[in-house]
């Protein structure tokens, strides 16, 4: 009988995936939401808001913006499971198991990441079918996946922390759109951040959404303005991409570390 951090992580991961996919409504929510966004909302946005630049295919631009919407939204909703597990579910059983307790929030974060990547794949495939003009390479795909993954880990860490601190579903629920969506409007999802007022633009540069969006466009819209220049004001696109990826990696580490610390504090006396 062997227990290890790997067993803990894999078991928590599998459980969270099972919880998310256990019910028909859950499955519908996971898959239909991105479908609706990319087939209905994105074309409508392209129709209403496109045209700020003739060099960019706006549907492609906003399709990637949808990716940066769905990832934090999924993370924030997953925070509700943290409260359910604590109040009504199985957290005490998990706490009594011979696994490192950090594997509970980390395993959950990895499961939410997997779910988010499936949703992202649905969006990209449907956008491609709908006529998005992705210009990419293997390296570009990796930039895209890396940015999407870090954004998921950052926002899940934040969701876990918030859920543990708030502690009640009725108090946490209203925070989901407020925290999960509001930054998205400032992050260049619908238009470049250079169009924002100067003060707000500075704030936008500090958001993980902004770095992730620029990196995802850098990966999938090669040859167009990704938004990295608006963040870093440098000439070298690869350098700016590396800086944004490092920024996201750092934010992910900090976000998950804070989540683990809050988890320790809130689950032990």
**Residue 217 falls in which region: left (phi positive, over 0), alpha (psi -120 to 50) or beta:** alpha
* Closer by beta carbon to another protein, 22 or else 202: 22
- Pick from 214, 177, 169, 175: which is nearest to 67 by CA? 214
| Strand-pair partners of 135 | 221
Tell me if residue 219 falls in helix, strand or coil: helix
Q: Which stretch binds another protein (CB under 8 A): 1-9, 29-37, 199-207, 211-219?
A: 1-9
| Token pair of 110 as six digits | 């990895």
Please work out the total of residues on this chain that contact another protein, with binding judged by CB under 8 A: 30
Cα–Cα distance, 219 to 215 (Å, whole number): 6
Residues 13-52 that bind another protein (CB under 8 A): 14-15, 18-19, 22-23
| Residue window 94-133: x/- pattern of binding to another protein, with contact defined by CB under 8 A | xxxxxxx---------------------------------
Q: Which stretch binds another protein (CB under 8 A): 55-63, 83-91, 203-211, 253-261?
A: 83-91
- Pick from 153, 149, 142, 152: which is nearest to 238 by CA? 142
| Token pair of 241 as six digits | 């991409």
- The length of the chain in residues reads 269
Cα–Cα distance, 54 to 48 (Å, whole number): 15
* Closer by beta carbon to another protein, 8 or else 219: 8
C-beta of residue 89 within 8 angstroms of C-beta of residue 119: no
What's the closest the beta carbon of residue 85 comes to another protein, in angstroms? 9
* Closer by beta carbon to another protein, 95 or else 257: 95
Q: What DSSP character marks residue 37? A: I
Looking at 25, 54, 55, 93, which residue binds another protein (CB under 8 A)? 93
Q: Which stretch binds another protein (CB under 8 A): 8-16, 162-170, 183-191, 228-236?
A: 8-16
Tell me if residue 223 falls in helix, strand or coil: coil
Q: Which stretch binds another protein (CB under 8 A): 3-11, 61-69, 142-150, 176-184?
A: 3-11
* Closer by beta carbon to another protein, 99 or else 251: 99
* Closer by beta carbon to another protein, 92 or else 202: 92
* Residue numbers at the binding site for another protein (CB under 8 A): 1-4, 7-8, 10-11, 14-15, 18-19, 22-23, 88-100, 267-269
């Amino acid at each position: 009988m062997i227990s290890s951090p790997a067993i803990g992580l894999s078991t928590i991961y599998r459980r969270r995936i099972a919880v998310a996919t256990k019910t028909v409504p859950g499955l519908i929510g996971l898959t239909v939401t991105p479908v609706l966004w990319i087939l209905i909302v994105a074309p409508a946005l392209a129709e209403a808001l496109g045209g700020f630049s003739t060099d960019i295919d706006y549907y492609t631009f906003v399709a990637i913006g949808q990716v940066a919407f769905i990832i934090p939204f999924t993370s924030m909703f997953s925070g509700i499971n943290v409260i359910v597990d604590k109040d009504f579910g199985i957290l005490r059983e998990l706490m009594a198991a011979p696994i490192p307790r950090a594997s509970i929030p980390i395993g959950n974060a990895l499961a939410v990441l997997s779910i988010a990547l499936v949703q992202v794949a649905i969006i990209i495939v449907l956008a491609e079918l709908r006529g998005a003009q992705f210009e990419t390479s293997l390296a570009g795909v990796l930039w895209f996946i890396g940015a999407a993954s870090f954004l998921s880990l950052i926002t899940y860490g934040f969701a876990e922390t918030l859920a543990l601190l708030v502690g009640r579903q009725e108090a946490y629920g209203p925070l989901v759109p407020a925290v999960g969506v509001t930054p998205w409007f400032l992050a260049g999802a619908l238009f470049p951040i250079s169009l924002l007022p100067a003060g707000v633009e500075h704030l936008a540069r500090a958001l993980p959404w902004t770095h992730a969006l620029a990196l995802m466009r850098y990966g999938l819209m090669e040859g167009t303005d990704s938004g990295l220049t608006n963040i870093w004001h440098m000439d070298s696109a690869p350098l700016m991409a590396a800086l944004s990826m490092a920024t996201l990696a750092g934010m992910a580490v900090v976000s998950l570390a804070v989540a683990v610390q809050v988890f320790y504090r809130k689950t032990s006396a």
